[in-house]
């Protein structure tokens, strides 16, 4: 901190390559691959349902489902490692993710669903598995886990937002795993190209990767509140001395530009998805390949017995 009370990085490399860097990098790259795979898979499944360009659609769908089958379980494992790293360096975020308002000295439950009640400091209508959170986070059913009751109220993140965004991300991750295993089962049975229900599910899962990525970043950024620099600088103390009209003008400009750019990009991508898939190779479904042009047919006469000998 300098004389003006500002935080100044002494080493940018340590800022960039902080303890969470490798975990977030792997988690985000895998998320990008899965997001792309499910978009490609949805387009391939859509064309299979419509029976358009079946050979190319089969290729698209098959490659996307291989990606889902292989990468989804790896992503779940990477997410688990990321969670353990977060527990070490940002434990309050994990408390909000897990919905642990109270400390659990003899093993914490895994709360699957519920409604966070921040006023009463509890999860209403909780559906939970006893001690399973301690097993996941500490690999010990009876390991103690601290709760938000050990944190001052003004230093807690918005629990409801983090609680739900985390479950949206994890839920979609397991749905992707389910689609991957379903496709593997169909592949083994030889029905990957003909399973309409799998194709419909893949179409519905097309935008799921984008939702999961957004939910993950909401979990990350909202979960570290109220800090800009974790444990050092509060977000409330990071506000620049800029007049409200200037902030409003820049915000409106951002909104307009983003709507134009993302609107045009989304329109273009949807147009691409609607078009038939193409590749540089001719489509075998359209007929045989003629590599040397149209060859003349056999003579109609019986010259030299060619008709009888198959010349």
Read off the pLDDT of residues 243-280 as tens digits, 9 standing for 90 and up.
Answer: 888 889 999 999 999 999 989 998 988 888 777 766 55
Tokens of 289: 């390949």
Residue 302 maps to a domain: no
pLDDT(304) > 60? no
Verify that 206 and 141 share a domain, yes or no. yes
- Determine which helix (DSSP H) or strand (DSSP E) holds 117, and give its type and residue range: strand 110-117
Residue 99 maps to a domain: yes
Verify that 154 and 175 share a domain, yes or no. yes
Verify that 137 and 266 share a domain, yes or no. no
Give the 3-state secondary structure of residue 311: coil
Of 235, 257, 287, the position where a domain reaches its end is: 235
Tell me the pLDDT tens digit for each residue of 173-224: 999 999 999 999 999 999 998 889 999 999 999 999 999 999 999 999 999 9
Verify that 197 and 55 share a domain, yes or no. yes
From 84, 117, 85, select the one nearest 101 (Cα to Cα).
117
Verify that 98 and 34 share a domain, yes or no. yes
From 229, 250, 278, select the one nearest 43 (Cα to Cα).
278
99-108 mean pLDDT: 91
Give the 3-state secondary structure of residue 127: strand
Per the model's pLDDT, the better-predicted residue between 38 and 281 turns out to be 38
Verify that 176 and 263 share a domain, yes or no. no
CB 99 within 8 A of CB 159: yes
Residue 299 maps to a domain: no
pLDDT(158) > 60? yes
pLDDT(15) > 90? no
Residue 88 maps to a domain: yes
Of 185, 204, 235, the position where a domain reaches its end is: 235
Residue/partner pairs of 285-291 with CB below 8 Å, 24 or more apart: 285/53, 285/54, 285/55
Verify that 143 and 69 share a domain, yes or no. yes
Residue 145: Cβ-neighbour burial (10 angstroms; 0-12, 13-18, 19+) = buried
Residue 195 maps to a domain: yes
307: pLDDT confidence band, cut at 50, 70 and 90? Answer: very low
- Please give the residue range of the domain that contains residue 207: 26-235
Verify that 271 and 130 share a domain, yes or no. no
pLDDT(288) > 70? no
Contacts of 235 (CB under 8 A, 6+ apart): 225, 226, 227, 228
Residue 284 maps to a domain: no
Verify that 114 and 154 share a domain, yes or no. yes
Verify that 252 and 231 share a domain, yes or no. no
Verify that 65 and 165 share a domain, yes or no. yes
Residue 220 maps to a domain: yes
Verify that 267 and 176 share a domain, yes or no. no
Say how many domains are in the chain.
Answer: 2
162: pLDDT confidence band, cut at 50, 70 and 90? Answer: very high
Residue 141 maps to a domain: yes
């Amino acid at each position: 901190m300098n004389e003006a009370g500002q935080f100044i990085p002494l080493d940018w490399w340590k800022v960039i390559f902080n303890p969470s860097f490798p975990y977030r990098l792997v988690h985000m790259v895998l998320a990008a691959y899965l997001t792309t795979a499910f978009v490609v898979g949805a387009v391939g499944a859509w064309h299979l349902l419509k029976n358009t360009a079946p050979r190319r659609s089969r290729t698209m769908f098959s490659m996307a489902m291989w990606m889902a089958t292989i990468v989804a379980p790896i992503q779940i494992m990477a997410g688990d490692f990321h969670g353990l790293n977060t527990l070490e360096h940002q434990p309050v975020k994990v408390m909000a993710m897990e919905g642990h308002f109270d400390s659990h000295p003899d093993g914490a439950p895994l709360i699957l669903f519920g409604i966070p009640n921040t006023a009463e400091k509890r999860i209403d209508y909780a559906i939970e598995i006893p001690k399973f959170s301690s097993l996941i986070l500490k690999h010990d059913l009876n390991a103690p886990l601290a709760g938000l009751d050990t944190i001052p109220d003004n230093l807690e993140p918005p629990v409801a937002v983090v609680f739900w965004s985390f479950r949206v991300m994890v839920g979609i991750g397991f749905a992707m795993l389910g689609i991957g295993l379903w496709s593997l089962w169909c592949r083994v049975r030889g029905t990957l190209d003909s399973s309409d229900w799998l194709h419909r599910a893949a179409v519905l899962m097309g935008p799921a990767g984008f939702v999961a990525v957004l939910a993950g970043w909401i979990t990350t950024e909202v979960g570290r509140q109220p800090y800009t620099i974790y444990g050092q600088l509060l977000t409330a103390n990071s506000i620049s001395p800029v007049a409200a009209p200037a902030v409003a003008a820049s915000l409106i400009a951002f909104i307009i530009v983003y709507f134009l750019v993302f609107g045009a990009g989304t329109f273009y991508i949807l147009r691409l998805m609607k078009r038939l898939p193409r590749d540089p190779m001719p489509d075998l479904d359209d007929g045989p390949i003629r590599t040397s042009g149209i060859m003349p047919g056999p003579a109609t006469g019986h010259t030299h017995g060619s008709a009888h000998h198959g010349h």
